A and B are shown apart, each in its own frame.
Chain A
Amino acid sequence: MSMARKQRAARMLRAATAAAVLLLAGCAGAPSREDPLEPMNRALYQVHDAVDTAVIKPVAQAYIDVVPQLIRTGVSNVFNNLDDLFSAVNGLLQGKLDKFGDDLGRVLLNTAFGLGGIFDLASMVGIERGNEDFGQTFAAWGFPQGPYLFVPLFGPTTVRDGTGVVVRIALGPVGYIPEVPLRNSLYGVGAVDLRAQALSAGAIVDTAALDRYLFIRNGYLQRRRYLVYDGKPPPEPEEP
């Protein structure tokens, strides 16, 4: 290699190093190693918050005001019953046979004697929900959490949890309903039911948070960690 080419290569290396340092310094502005995409996520959160305030929250509030508690509980129970079935599957996938048994028992009891899941008899007799899902199964299998994501209309998640949700939705059963309007209505009711359940939590976040984006992010990540470790998370390493 000629002298001139060597010098040019050295200059390019220096320029590349400088660029990398600048880039890293820029990244240092994002405080959390769990949320490297914070600037993008914050923008998406703003979009979500605007749509939520304008449309989704009022709809959920109207649902609470119009539909009696008894019926709303029945609706939640039907969707929970489906989730319990997938919780049983995920308990099995992680080798948690006690949770698998409890969740399967819940589904059988509630489906057979609770009118297809409208009544949660299993909770009345004290069989607790396992609360397992694909995101937790992936964690148990050693998949890394991946970056935190805020998805408008859906909410906080991570690459690992979001993948789990995609798997869950793909497996149905609502997606298998051939009649499109009915299928979409069911998705809609499910979404409104979830949002309505979160209304009181949202009011608490509004009072408590200094920065709602961070409050929701940290709450979500803490909650997921707690679920992954079945309520016994090891102490978190102190950040340097």
Chain B
Amino acid sequence: MDFKQIKANLKKDFTGLKKVKVAILADSSTQYLAQAIRGIGYEKKLDIEIWEAEYDAIDLTISDISSELYAFKPDFTFLFLSSSKLQKKFYKSGYSSDFSGDILEYYKKVTEVMSSHIKTNYLIVNFPDKLDSVFGHYAGKVNSSFSYQVKKINISLMDWAQNNAAVSIIDLCGLQAMYGNAFVTDTRLYISSDAIFSLDFTIKLAENCVQVLEAFTGGSKKCLILDLDNTLWGGIIGDDGLENIQIGDLGIGKAFTEIQLWAKALKDRGIILAVCSKNDEINAKEPFDKHPDMVLHSDDIAIFIANWSNKHDNIKYIQSVLNIGLDSMVFIDDNPFERNMVRQFLPEVLVPELPEDPADYLPYLNSLNIFETNAYTEEDKDRTQLYKAEALRNDASRSYTSEVDFLKSLDMISEVKPFDAFTIPRVAQLTQRSNQFNLRTIRYTEEDVKRIATDNNKYHTFSFTLADKYGNHGLIGVIILEKKDKEALFVDTWIMSCRVLKRTMEQFMLNEIVQYATRHKFKQIEGEYIETRKNGMVREHYKNLGFTAKDNKWILSIDNYDTKTCYITNA
């Protein structure tokens, strides 16, 4: 991407793209950044509408209740204070050792004022770091040095974000470390137009901002598919044999060890790992089980495919077992031919163009920031286990002649309860990430979910877990009912994880909400299907459950409801 392409994108037709409203509040000139964010958004199928506050007028903007900002109602607000202005403030403060605390208070005040008018997600750009220009290295021993205060601000911002769902960090400091200050800044631009970044870095920063927006709007990556020979280890296992592949201290093994460490950490964060390799399975699996220097073991891999078929067919298979979108999958392979084949047949899959030298693989992959996310829950850690259990179930289902017998044999149990403090993060995550089994695709932040959960006059909420004899799926279903009036409940949100398709879970969920409706003397339940590019699988959802169509809505009358057959017990 360069600025010319960005400009060209700005002229393109954005109709039909997902709309995201973004405000930028800054104390430096951000026109280039704004253009770049919108132009790059186009590539990611986002129509990012940007409202820029007047240059260096944050306080004025937010204190004006008739401000365009509040009429604009941004989904996201970038708060971006420049480090040069920060430094001036610091000098003005008389080198205060409380400086970082004052700055944090300032941010809190800004978000408080804004939150009293609008609901928005705050994306706070943190501060780049550098060797202290006054104290040098000695700054570490001086709490009134700028360098110390900047570091402290960055830490306080993260601490604050960890306890405030509406606040997230854009890690400019991390980007600066990755790209180097010489690339990041252009002093000439700063002096002549008060834009603090070089044009080239502005584009990198914008790419990262768009990735964060993408993660918030349901576009995060979920699965990493790895080739083996010369990708996870050096050499070819089938030819070189177990003792001679390069991993650990042998040859350029360190480069591969690092990639494995990265993959393992991703897996522990909740990214599903799969292997797709042209190999005999017995050879391919041997290092995972026997090589002492392997970081990744068989347990870490949810789906292991080693055969001689086309990789794109194998990836299609992996996709069908995991039941996730192709566009949430990433494929890493050292072989340009394989990469191109996969790109050609499965353009939705992200296939990074690896550098030639394996030593450069990881730094390059890191620079792409592929696995941006906007949530992290305890459940994420166990995801690989979930998918491995799923593979066991797949095997079991083949041994039963009828589907009903199979379902009965699973001993399925579901826990149903309103949202609570423990489930709210996961519920928010489901509303943000589920694309397929999602009837209206309304995205909610944790803050939103909290508000809904406590507004008992207007809403009743249900979270559903599912467990069976092979394992626990965790929280896999969400329903939000809006009490329209004394008679009618409207299904504001109905989401189910695709992991539990064909388990009669939908029927179970409907039985539960009908029971609730009956208990509280409601007469009917109204559903709505809002079509998106990805939720075609639930187009007939309400029809299949016995709702009747009426004025673009689906109606179920409570009085003559026949409890649906399902094989799930309420815990």
Do these two chains interact? Answer: no
Interface residues of A (CB under 8 A from B): none
